[in-house]
Structure 1
Amino acid sequence: MPTEREHRRVTVEPGGPILIDGPVQVQLPDGTTARSDRFVVAVCACRRSKRYPFCDTSHRKKIRDD
């Protein structure tokens, strides 16, 4: 597991989630922290996820107009 000083890979998927090598802690605007110990974590970028801040593939249900 990387320490705080080591770099983590972050991949932005066009039209999809942000993929982060895990484990991760995501600090939300309300001050709470969401945690995931998964190897790769998909963080929602569209805010449609019912599991926000984590992606549940809700972005696939609607076609985006870019």
Structure 2
Amino acid sequence: MNQEPAEGTIVVCPDGPLLVRGDFEIVTPSGEPVPRQRQTVALCRCGASAIKPYCDGTHKLIKFRTEPVRPKPSGM
């Protein structure tokens, strides 16, 4: 059974960006298209990128975490 490839996919990277692949358009809140040069882009989730909406790797410098840090059990 052959499946048609999805028009686009989104990969949620742990503690990092959203990787968006495929045929899609990124627009501003007012509907203006945001230019892109690649078929796959990394979108910022940490809010600290200097090139928003795209990721510039700042999430690594600020130690952005997508999951809350759980306290270690006492006694260990």
Give TM-score scaled by structure 1 length.
Answer: 0.72
* 1:37 match: 37
Contact 1:24 1:36 survives alignment (8 Å):
no
- Aligned to 1:33, the other structure's residue is in SS state coil
Aligned-partner Cα distance in 2 for 1:51–1:25: 17
**Residue 24 to residue 51, structure 1, CA distance change in 2 (3 Å):** farther
Structure 1 spans left out of the alignment, 5+ residues: 1-5
Runs of 4+ in 1 over 4 A off after TM superposition: none
Largest Rg, 1 or 2: 2
Structure 2 spans left out of the alignment, 5+ residues: 1-5, 69-76
Aligned Cα RMSD in Å?
Answer: 1.9
